[in-house]
Every structure is written in structure tokens, then in C-alpha cells.
């Protein structure tokens, strides 16, 4: 059966729409990922969910469907740190690669996954390429101390197609939140996720609790899963879904600012990251603090 029955429920407007059960959401999203529905139905689904907003139960169902279709990265001897990178840089340099390299230097396997979702931003794939980290073509294992970048289409082609709908309709859809919550690793992992607006902090936390995730959630830099280098954001850790506040927001006036590059292009960002990794520049304190929390969470796995 197609998804028209579900669109009738979720397409009644913000006040009239009815939430789907987890099983219904999984069925709907599975059909979307499998490409068994029309482009018109996909557009209707995206617009209806944009108006209604997804509940944590619906997001859990969307994740169930996605996880059943993922080409998962095999387990590693150590907990794999998962960094979903989909926002890119608009005003500040995208420092997700710096976080990845700092974690790898501590011996952790680091999986970065993502794709370009807008035309006028600098994305993690460009910076990683400038640092000599090429995109992988398969969901192969990540060794301790290595950084791997796996494009979304390698993990799940249907998910990449749904993300690309934004280029046509100009609006985000549930896939843009889902990619920050999904677990593409078979074994022990820690998802480092981020949000841009407070309402997403609440909904993402509720979803992590519902699915029993191991994760670190923070307000990232322009939506990237890395702490703002200028001011430490609040951070919440999740252990099998149990939520604990591990870092409060930094208050007061800033005493100093990090030596960030003025340009945000891939080459300038890569040069800055190389200088930090070589010790010529200091690691921004908020990012160093984030690394500490991730090490604590992975050691507890």
C-alpha cells in the first residue's frame, strides 16, 4: 500500500495533523527510502512534515526504517565516534575535521559521514580532501586512530535522494534531522550530534532517550557537531538513552578569542587545522573540552 493514507493523517495542517505511530512512521519512511512512491508523494510528505513537525516517536520510526537499510560500517576494537556533518560553513570555518583528527590522535576510530545540502557553503568533504582524507566508496571498517569520511550515498542511496529534495523545494525535511541521529556502525559507537535551535535540542534529546542511544548532544558551530571555538556550549551525554548534563554553557564575557582564519574556504581551514595539529596554534578551549567529554564517554563503553 502506498503512503497516501499517511499523508492524509500528517497533511491536515499544524493543528489538525495526527501523529503517526512508530510502526506507521517506519512503513512510510521505508517506502520513501526504497523509491516505491512517486515524486509527487515525496513532495507532499516533505511539505506536510515541514508544517507539522516530527514527533520523537515518528523520528524513532524513521530511524528504524533507515537502520534496516543502511550499509553499516563494521564494528571496531574500540568505540567508533560518529560525526554527522551536513551543515557546512557559512560564517565560521567548518572545524569538524579538527575534532575528528584530535580524537583520532587519542587512538579512537572516527567516522565522519555527510553530503553537501546547500550550494553556497564549504562542506566537510572539501576540508578533509585538502587534509588528504579522501571519501570512501564502501562502508569499510575504521581502524583505531584513523579518520574515515563516508558519503551519505554510500551508507544509504535513498537517504541521499531525500536530502537532495531540499535543492528542489527549498525546505528541510525529516531526513535533515535524521542523519544527525542515525547510527551507521554495527558495534559500539558514540554519536556526536548537534542542533541549531532550542526546539531541536528538545526533540533530538527525546529521540535519543526513546531509542536508547549512546550520544553527545550540543549546540554546534552552525549546526556542525563541533563546539563553537569561541564559547563552550552546554553538552548532554546519553548512555543507553539516559541523559546527563556534562557541561554547562559558558557564561560571562569572553576573555580572548581563538586565532581562527579570516577566510572559510577549504584551503584556509585545512591550513589552520594543520597548524593546530602541529602545535603552532592552540586547540580552542571549547573543542578541547568536547574532546575530553568524548574520551570519557567512549572509555565507559
For 62-118, the pLDDT digits (tens) are: 999 999 999 999 999 999 999 999 998 888 999 999 999 999 999 999 999 999 877
- CA atoms lying within 13 Å on the CB side of residue 41: 17
215-219 and 235-239 beta bridge pairing: antiparallel
Region label for 21, one of left (φ > 0), alpha (ψ between -120 and 50) or beta (otherwise): beta
CATH number of the 80-299 domain: 3.40.1030.10
Q: Domain-by-domain residue ranges, the chain?
A: 4-67, 80-299
Phi, psi (rounded to 5 degrees) for 40: -65, -40
| Whole-number Å distance between alpha carbons of 114 and 231 | 25
Kind plus residue range of the DSSP H or E element containing 202 = helix 198-211
Q: Tell me how crowded residue 170 is: count the other CB atoms within 10 A of its CB.
A: 7
Question: Which residues are CB-neighbours of 237 under 8 A, at least 6 positions away?
Answer: 215, 216, 217, 243, 244, 246, 293, 297
pLDDT at 89: 85
- pTM of the complete model: 0.94
- 4-67: CATH topology is 1.20.970
Question: Which residues are CB-neighbours of 197 under 8 A, at least 6 positions away?
Answer: none
Q: Over the stretch 12-65, which tens digit does the pLDDT of each residue have? A: 877 778 899 999 999 999 999 999 999 889 988 998 998 888 999 999 999 999
Amino acid at each position: 500500500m502506498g503512503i497516501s493514507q499517511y499523508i492524509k493523517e500528517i497533511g491536515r495542517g499544524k493543528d489538525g495533523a495526527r501523529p503517526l505511530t512508530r510502526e506507521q512512521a517506519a512503513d512510510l519512511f521505508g517506502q520513501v527510502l526504497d523509491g516505491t512512491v512517486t515524486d509527487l508523494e515525496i513532495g507532499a510528505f516533505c511539505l506536510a512534515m515541514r508544517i507539522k513537525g516530527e514527533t520523537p516517536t515518528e523520528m524513532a520510526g524513521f530511524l528504524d526504517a533507515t537502520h534496516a537499510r543502511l550499509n553499516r560500517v563494521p564494528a571496531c576494537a574500540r568505540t567508533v565516534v560518529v560525526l554527522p556533518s551536513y551543515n557546512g560553513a557559512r560564517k565560521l570555518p567548518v572545524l569538524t575535521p579538527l575534532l575528528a583528527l584530535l580524537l583520532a590522535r587519542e587512538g579512537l576510530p572516527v567516522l565522519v559521514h555527510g553530503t553537501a545540502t546547500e550550494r553556497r557553503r564549504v562542506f566537510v568533504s572539501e576540508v578533509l580532501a585538502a587534509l588528504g582524507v579522501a571519501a570512501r566508496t564502501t562502508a569499510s571498517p575504521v581502524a583505531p586512530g584513523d579518520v574515515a569520511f563516508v558519503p551519505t550515498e554510500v551508507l544509504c542511496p535513498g537517504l541521499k535522494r531525500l536530502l537532495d529534495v531540499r535543492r528542489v523545494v527549498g525546505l528541510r525535511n525529516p531526513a535533515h534531522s535524521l542523519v544527525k541521529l542515525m547510527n551507521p556502525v554495527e558495534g559500539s559507537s558514540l554519536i556526536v550530534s548537534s542542533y541549531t535551535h532550542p526546539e531541536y535540542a528538545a526533540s533530538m534529546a527525546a529521540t535519543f532517550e526513546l531509542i536508547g542511544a549512546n550520544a553527545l548532544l550540543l549546540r554546534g558551530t552552525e549546526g556542525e557537531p563541533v563546539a563553537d571555538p569561541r564559547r563552550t556550549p552546554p553538552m548532554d551525554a546519553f548512555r543507553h538513552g539516559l541523559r546527563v548534563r556534562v557541561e554547562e554553557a559558558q557564561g560571562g564575557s569572553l576573555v580572548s578569542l581563538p586565532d581562527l582564519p579570516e577566510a572559510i574556504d577549504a584551503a584556509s581551514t585545512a591550513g589552520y587545522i594543520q597548524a593546530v595539529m602541529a602545535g603552532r596554534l592552540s586547540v580552542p578551549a571549547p573543542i578541547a573540552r568536547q574532546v575530553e567529554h568524548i574520551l570519557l564517554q567512549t572509555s565507559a563503553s
